[in-house]
A and B are shown apart, each in its own frame.
Chain A
Amino acid sequence: MEAAMLYAAEETRSYFYTLPLWLKVTFYVVALGTLVVFFAAVRRKWLRYRSGRKDRANRPSIRRFLGGAVSVFSHRRIMRDHPVAGLAHAAVFFGFAGLFVATLVVLVDADILHPLLPEWTFMHGTFYLVFSWLADLCGVLLIAGLAVLMFRRLVLRPPELRVEDRDDVEGFPTGRMVRLDDLAFLLLLLAAGIGGFIVEGLRIHATQPSFEGWSFTGWIVNGWLGDAGVSSAGAETAYAYLWVFHAITALVFVAYLPFSKAWHMLAGWYSLAIRPEVVGGFPDAVDTVSGGYDHLTDLSRGELAMLDACIRCGRCHAACPATNAGFPLSPRDLILSLRAGAAKSLPLPRAAPGTAAAAPVLTDMVPAEWLWACTTCLACDDICPLGIQHLPLILQMRRHLVAEGEIEAGVQDTLMNVMRYGNSFGTSPRARARWTSDLPFEVKDARREPVEYLWFVGDYASFDPRTQENTRRVARVLHAAGVDFGILYEAEQNAGTDVRRIGEEGLFEMQMEKNLEALGGATYRKIVTTDPHTYHALRREYADGNGSGAREVIHYTQLLVDLLDGGVIAPTRSLDAAVTYHDPCYLGRYNGVFDEPRRLLRGLGARLVEMPRNRAGALCCGAGGGRIWMEDTPGIVERPAESRVREAAGLEGVGTLVVSCPKDLVMFQDAVKTTGLEGALEVKDVIELVEEVTRPMDRSEQP
């Protein structure tokens, strides 16, 4: 089309083309009604959120909001591990956003400027042409994206999108309700998109303006209509009907939005805006009977709003080690159950004067079984594209269970052991440093003399016979490297990380006080630890009286790689084997330490092969959150550790699974036995490999 022709006629279109006045009026009335419904629903949601607890700490800030906005626009979280679905969503997102903006633009021009300030209208000329082209592009993106997503949902049917009925809680959305909502959302949008193009095509077909090549899709539809033998007059007649159809679809969508998963378009912003930059921080105790969440109204306002952001993508469900094992816990179902409870009971009905309204009890929506199944691995919080934080809810609800004494006997005994003996094994604290007795040298006593590195060994590394040899290896390697290190001997106590995660905040505080006292009496430059749980607690959760938790804490893999880099550890041979590495949850996902252990392994000459689920996607071994102290629930399909060792064994040519956490070692060694993989897969701590390559060469190996 030549530029001259493009600008020949007045480039614009008439609004409500061919629509009689009564229809236009009806449209505005219905539109108004739609907005009333919409805002009424929004208000009800707002009142529901407001039933929650005021929480200063987790209010959205500009910074968090901007961070959330970046996340949304970049689609970084949605694209993670799901490139096709992510791109399709981006198409839908930008397409819809664009069309939404276009509608607003038209509204301004048609309903405000046109009647009031006609000389200011701008929907003509070049503006109009560019506008039309962009709008059509958005429409195409929307429809294309929706088509891909619908194909994925309805044809490919990924299991994570399926929401099963649950009979262990009341009011849980049925699979049928869920599918209806999913389908309604998709179909309404699709109908709106396609309908819009048909309407445009009809108009173009009827009016045949020369410039409408810019509305390229509409132009194509126009062509199809022509091919189908529809006349201009016919198009003009049909236009009104299709217009009404399109209007109805659009208005129904708007009215339906707050009642459907479409609400995530608004709730998601909020949920991302209240998400801290680094998740995994432990929620503060709150002013309730238990110190945690007893009733639905103990959730913060932000959390209640956050519940509404869930779109049932199922990624948390697929990532959860408990769900995978067959435990009753699913992070997604937890959110959906709470949400259903909130929708049903909040805001609370006005209470009779003099009484308080009874807020729903949380254990009705989230049974204790679910809560105890959690390993606190953080995979759910890490992976949620809408930034929903499931874990703080679980931790707060556990506090309630502990206050009520609803803890299984084994865990009670363990807590008692920690309280009495300072370790979870129930052994005399005098036995803590017995592992050193087999060493050919004295380990420095950090209580008595200053050391450069204070090695906080940890319960499992000190007491469990299966891991003690590795602890000795660490001591031998550090000693041989001339590192100045010492331990606290009997003054060291269980760090309390898992005690805290069980919900025993008071006992955690007691442990923290005891350890801080011991640390306070010692002189050191850095703390090094062999246990990622201890690493996390010391680094991020221990607070001195002045509130600062600042002390430099490193993991032994970080120390070892430093020593390797600095030539202090000198390998006498290369490992020359293919190994795979498991990222411990509290080292990797919680604290971002992924690279140092890998650099260490490569530095030792290992050929590192990654498991499919690696780095932040690593599958928890199942010991965290106090689960290592709990009985298995009957009905377990496959324990997380078993799934993990199978994953490792499935790697071509890899015979060794390397760990850097004593609990991982114990869990995976057991799993190797129970899965019959003995002989096929060895589980080794990274220190074993270090010792292997640094042992002095014997005669046969010397050049």
Chain B
Amino acid sequence: MADNVLVMAETWRGGISDATFELLALGRELADGFGGKLEVFLAGDGVSGLVGELGAADSVYLAEAPALAEPEAGGRSRLVAEVIETSGPRCVLVALTNVSWDLAGLLPARIGAPLVNFCRNVAVAGDEIEATCVLYGGKMEATVKVSAAPVVFGVLPGARSADAGRSAGSPEVKDLAVDGAQAAVAFLRYVEPEAGDVDITQQDTLVSVGRGLQGAANVDLAEELAGLLGGAVCGSRPAIDQGWLPLSRQVGKSGVTVKPRLYFALGISGAPEHLEGMRDSELIIAINTDPDAPIFNAAHFGSTEDLLEVVPALIERAAEVKGG
């Protein structure tokens, strides 16, 4: 059993995803801590050219086949299970993104290893590995120590910075043989969302609304505020599910990731799936009547007053400041 770290790389639209680089940064720390190697598993079709981006790693297990072109977990978990059999890493890092979600659940089950889920941090702690996991919608954190090997960590996006894991280089490439077994799950096609009128990833200011907005009628308030600040309205998943905003305005795991200068979070609880989409915003101001809402852990400023009172007052004030 080697003290290696294995990172499950993911590609999206032909490129290595940011989440992968985040895992590489984390993986490098852990590998150095163990004194072992950092290895990457990369699967896809015609992705060998991307190996050069994985310079942070020591070696890359490359599996190429048409069936692996798009995200799928069944084939990958079978292949990785073989790799783990032979190379025996200490731990495996999988990103908790939509692309790798299924793999994070399937892989530990397949190899009979524990999964430590929703990690926002993983670190070496003597003989053990310590992880901090986010539970209950972000309201609680659990500290876990594992000594078993291998152990799979499901890592939340944002645990490390992607840039820290980016490094050009030439890791050793180990090609894997891929059999042509018929997959039970076959990718057919992508369905693109309807283009929205506004691209929220390009906005400097975003006014984001969540369940606390209470009704579609109040979206007007958000629009007014956004208008005054020269920005646009977006929302967390509940706001889109309720039909208050179109899909193109969704921020979060299944939506888009935004990094505006100003992000207003109105009536948003701050569950990890949403935070993932906006936590790097320069200035985050959150308004939520629940003082325990996890959004306050990510925001820079916050208030527990009723947003339906604060926003109109804010609109008035802002209009004054702008006018006067």
Contacts and interface: CB of A to CB of B under 8 A. Distances in A.
A119 interface: no
A632 B243 CA distance: 15
Contacts of B214: 410
Contacts of A632: 217
A464 B323 CA distance: 33
Contact of B216 (A427, A465, A631): A631
B306 interface: yes
A476 interface: no
Interface in B265-291: 289
B312 interface: yes
A409 B242 contact: yes
Contacts of B215: 410, 631
Interface string B227-257: 0000000000000001100000000000000
A222 B306 CA distance: 81
Contacts of B216: 631
Contacts of B312: 673
Interface string A373-414: 000000000000000000000000000000000000110000
Interface residues of A, number: 8
Nearest to A426: B211
B197 interface: no
Given A409-B242, A409-B243, A673-B312, A631 B217 contact: yes
A465 B242 contact: no
B288 to A, nearest CB: 12
A82 B197 CA distance: 55
A466 interface: yes
B309 interface: yes
Nearest to B214: A410
Interface size class of B (residues with CB under 8 A): 10 to 19
Contact of A466 (B242, B243, B309): B309
A410 B243 CA distance: 11
The majority secondary structure among interface residues of chain B is loop
B305 interface: yes
Contacts of A465: 305-306, 309
A337 to B, nearest CB: 28
B293 to A, nearest CB: 13
Interface in A596-634: 631-632
A673 B289 CA distance: 23
Interface string A444-486: 0000000000000000000001100000000000000000000
Interface string B208-231: 000000111100000000000000
Nearest to B243: A409
Contacts of B309: 465-466
Nearest to B241: A409
A511 B26 CA distance: 52
Nearest to A630: B215
A459 to B, nearest CB: 15
A673 to B, nearest CB: 7
A409 B217 CA distance: 13
Contacts of B217: 631-632
Interface in B178-219: 214-217
A683 to B, nearest CB: 15
Interface string B296-324: 00000000011001001000000000000
A466 B309 CA distance: 9
Given A409-B243, A631-B215, A673-B312, 6 more contacts: A410-B214, A410-B215, A427-B289, A465-B306, A465-B309, A631-B217
Interface of B: 214-217, 242-243, 289, 305-306, 309, 312
12 contacts: A409-B242, A409-B243, A410-B214, A410-B215, A465-B305, A465-B306, A465-B309, A466-B306, A466-B309, A631-B215, A631-B216, A631-B217
Closest 10 CB pairs of A and B: A465-B306, A410-B215, A631-B215, A631-B217, A632-B217, A631-B216, A409-B242, A465-B309, A673-B312, A410-B214
